[in-house]
Structure 1
Amino acid sequence: MSLALLAMSHSPLLEHAELPADVSAELNTAFEQARAFVRDYDPDIIVNLAPDHYNGFFYTLMPAFCIGYAAESIGDYGSQAGRLDVPEEIARGLAEYVIDQGIDLAVSLDMQVDHGAVQPMEVLYGDIAAKPVVPVFLNSVAPPFTPVKRVRMLGEAIGGFLSGLDKKVLLIASGGLSHDPPVPRLVTATPEQRRALLGQGGPITSEARAARQQRVIDAARDFAAGTAVIQDLAPDWDRELMRILASGDLSPIDAWKPDEMTKIAGNSSHEVRTWIAGYAALGAAGSYTVQYSYYRPIRELIAGFGLTTATMN
C-alpha cells in the first residue's frame, strides 16, 4: 500500500480569464510541480474528491456524499467530456467499507461530473481517462451542509479502506479555497433558477449553459476590476486552513460551523471539504509531510487558489 495526496483549487475560468503575467507564470510553475509529483509517484489508481455545481447533483435529491461506480464528464466550460475509467469493484468496495464505518453515503451507477472533478486530471495528465479513477462527490454548494467533523470522518474511512489496497493510490482533492462566484442560491432563486437547481425541465440546453457560464466569466472580469458585488476573498482564512491541514492535527476544524465558513470565506468556500477529507484520508494511513505548497488570492479566477502535495512519512 502507498498513498499520496494532491489538493488543488479548480476554476472554470482558467481557460477564460486574462491573468497578469506574473500570476500566470506562478500558476504554471505550480502546475509543473504537480505534474512532476504525480509523474514521479505514478499511481495505479486515483480517488478523486470533488464537488459539483448543479450539473450532476440537484435539490431533487442532494446527498452529502456519493461514490460513483461509473461516471461521465459533462464537459462544461470547455472541459473534457466523456467517460471516466472507473474500476467498479474498487469503487463498490470503498462504498461498502465507508458505510460499515458508520458514514452514510449514496452510490451512483451513472454519476455526472463537471469541471470540478475533471480539471485536475486535465492539468495533470491532459486526459480525464489517463488513469483509473474512483469519483467521490462531496456536497459543497447546496445548503444544508453536513458538519465538518463528518467530512473528516468520511476521509478517515476512505483512508482506512485505501490502506488495505495493494496499490499505489493518489488522492486528488479538488476545490476551494475562499470564493463566492455567482452560483444561484435556493433561498434567493428566481422561479427559473429554482427549476434549474432541482434539475427540472430536462437536460440544460447548450444556449442556457453558455449563458450561465458567461455570467461567471463576466463576474470574474468585474471582480478583478473591483466592481463586482460578490464577497471578497479571505487569504488569512485560506492560509490558516492550509496550516492546519499541513500540521497533521485536523481536530481544530471540527468546530468550524458552515454558516461561519460562508460568512468569512464565501458561499463556495465549502469546497474545502474535499481538502479536509483528502488530508484526513492520508492521515488515517499514517503520518505525512507536505512536499509542496502554493497559495495566491487570484481575483481573475474569483478564488483563493491553493495547491499542495503530500506524502506519507
Structure 2
Amino acid sequence: MTLDTPIPTSPARGARLTVCSSHAIPPPPGDPAWPVPPKPEIWAAWATARERIQAFAPELVVVFGTDHRRAFRAVIPSVAVALTATARGDRNGPVGTYPVAGDTARALAEHLSAHDVDIAVAHRVALDHGFGHSARDLLGGIDRHPIVPIFLNAASPPAPSFRRAAHIGELVGRFFDDRPERVLFVGTGGLTHHLPPYTLPDDGAERDEDERLALYARLSQALADPSLRFDDGWDREFLAGLGRRDRDWLQAAGTDVVRRAGNGANEAVCWVAAWAAGGQPLQVLAYRFDATTGAGNGAAVALSGWPASPLAA
C-alpha cells in the first residue's frame, strides 16, 4: 500500500499498522516566540498519520519509546514493559494516566521472557516526552486507545543494538499474530541529533524538571563542540532501510551511530523495533534536516499499510 492507495474502510481484525515519528515540538497555541525551529512538513505529516490511524481504528496501541534520564533512575533496564504508567508532562507534553492494557502487557512480558529476552516490568512509571509527544501528536491524546508502553534504553549506554531491537520487535509482533485485535505499532524518537549532556555518564540522580533543565543548559554550553557537524547521510540510509523487508541493512546502519549521527540517534532503536513488529516496509511521509540546530537535527514521519495478515505482501 502506498499513500496513493485508497484507504480501506474496514481494516480486518488482526490487521496491523506501523507509524514512526520523531519528536518535533510544535509551538503552544498563540505563542509566536516559541524557540523551537518550525517543522511544518513534520506537523503536516502528523496530520496525515492521524487520519490513517483514525481510519485504521486500532483496538490496541503498542508504543516503543525511550526516556531522557527521567523515568528510570536507580535501575535503568535495557527493555521494560510498563504495566501502569503516567505521562510526566515535560517538554510541553501531556499529563495524565495512560490506559495501559495491563493483562496484555503482562502476558507480552512473559512471552518475551519465554523467548530469552531479559525483560523488566514497571509499575507506576512516569514516562516522559519519549512517549507523551507521540501519543499526543499521533493519537490525539494519551487516553484515546488501550496502550502497551515498551521502553528501550537509548539515553544511558549501553543501548540495544539495531539487530537486538529488531529481534525484540519481531517477538512482539509474533505475540500478536494469533490475537484478533487491530494493533498499531508506534516507534518514537529522534534521528540525527546530539545532546552534549549525554556525553557524560548517567549519574542516576533524581532531579525535578527545573533542576534538570538548568543543569542541561549549563552542560550544553560547557560541553558544546563547535567542530561537531552532521549531515543527512545517516538519516537517509536509515530511512531507506526501513523501506525494506530484509534485515541486511541493520548491521551497517547500526554501526558507529553516535559518531555518524550523534548520541540522540540511538533513539532510532524504537523505530527499528516498531518496524520489525509490524513486519512491513515503511514509507516516509516527510523528512526534514535542520543544519542550524545544534550539530544538525533530522526529523521524519513514516508509516506502513495495513494488510489483513501481518505477513501479507
Same fold, judged at TM 0.5 (above): yes
Residue 118 of structure 1 deviates from its aligned partner by 1.1
What is the aligned partner in structure 1 of residue 265 from structure 2? 269
Alignment of 1:77-92 (within 5 A): 77-92=91-106
Residue 116 of structure 1 deviates from its aligned partner by 0.9
What is the aligned partner in structure 2 of residue 3 from structure 1? 16
* CA distance in 2: counterparts of 1:277 and 1:230, whole angstroms: 32
* CA distance in 1: counterparts of 2:218 and 2:229, whole angstroms: 18
Residue 162 of structure 1 deviates from its aligned partner by 1.6
* CA distance in 1: counterparts of 2:176 and 2:164, whole angstroms: 18
- Closer, same or farther: CA 235–291 of 1 in aligned 2, 3 Å: closer
What is the aligned partner in structure 1 of residue 37 from structure 2? 19
* CA distance in 2: counterparts of 1:213 and 1:81, whole angstroms: 22
Q: Does 1:73 align with 2:84?
A: no
Counterpart residue type for residue 158 of structure 1: V
- Closer, same or farther: CA 13–33 of 1 in aligned 2, 3 Å: closer
What is the aligned partner in structure 2 of residue 191 from structure 1? none
Counterpart residue type for residue 69 of structure 2: Y
Of the structure 1 ranges 118-127 and 260-269, higher mean CA displacement relative to structure 2 is found in 118-127
Native 8 Å contact 1:71 1:83 kept in 2: yes
Native 8 Å contact 2:66 2:188 kept in 1: yes
Native 8 Å contact 1:4 1:310 kept in 2: yes
What is the aligned partner in structure 2 of residue 52 from structure 1? 67
Q: Does 1:249 align with 2:262?
A: no
Of the structure 1 ranges 121-130 and 99-108, higher mean CA displacement relative to structure 2 is found in 121-130
Q: Does 1:135 align with 2:138?
A: no
Give the alignment's Cα RMSD to 1 decimal.
2.5
Residue 18 of structure 1 deviates from its aligned partner by 4.7
Residue 112 of structure 1 deviates from its aligned partner by 1.9
Counterpart residue type for residue 153 of structure 2: N
- Closer, same or farther: CA 235–56 of 1 in aligned 2, 3 Å: same
Alignment of 1:219-234 (within 5 A): 229=226, 231-234=228-231
Counterpart residue type for residue 93 of structure 2: S
Alignment of 1:231-310 (within 5 A): 231-254=228-251, 260-283=256-279, 288-299=280-291, 303-310=297-304
Structure 2: unaligned runs, 5 residues or longer = 1-13, 29-33, 308-312
- Closer, same or farther: CA 296–207 of 1 in aligned 2, 3 Å: closer
* CA distance in 1: counterparts of 2:148 and 2:227, whole angstroms: 34
Residue 61 of structure 1 deviates from its aligned partner by 1.7
Question: Which TM-score applies when normalising by structure 2?
Answer: 0.83
* CA distance in 1: counterparts of 2:110 and 2:179, whole angstroms: 14
In structure 1, which of residues 42, 63, 69 is the aligned counterpart of residue 57 of structure 2?
42
Percent identity over the alignment?
Answer: 27
Native 8 Å contact 1:47 1:172 kept in 2: yes
Alignment of 1:207-222 (within 5 A): 207-212=210-215
Structure 1: unaligned runs, 5 residues or longer = 188-193, 220-226
In structure 2, which of residues 117, 126, 139 is the aligned counterpart of residue 112 of structure 1?
126
Native 8 Å contact 2:60 2:181 kept in 1: yes
* CA distance in 2: counterparts of 1:244 and 1:206, whole angstroms: 36
- Closer, same or farther: CA 207–88 of 1 in aligned 2, 3 Å: same
* CA distance in 1: counterparts of 2:215 and 2:132, whole angstroms: 19
What is the aligned partner in structure 1 of residue 4 from structure 2? none
What SS does the aligned partner of 1:247 have?
coil
What SS does the aligned partner of 1:77 have?
coil
Q: Which one has a larger percent helix, Structure 1 or Structure 2?
A: 1
What is the aligned partner in structure 1 of residue 78 from structure 2? 64
What is the aligned partner in structure 1 of residue 205 from structure 2? 199
Residue 63 of structure 1 deviates from its aligned partner by 1.1
Q: May I ask how many residue pairs the two structures share in their alignment? A: 285
Question: Which TM-score applies when normalising by structure 1?
Answer: 0.83
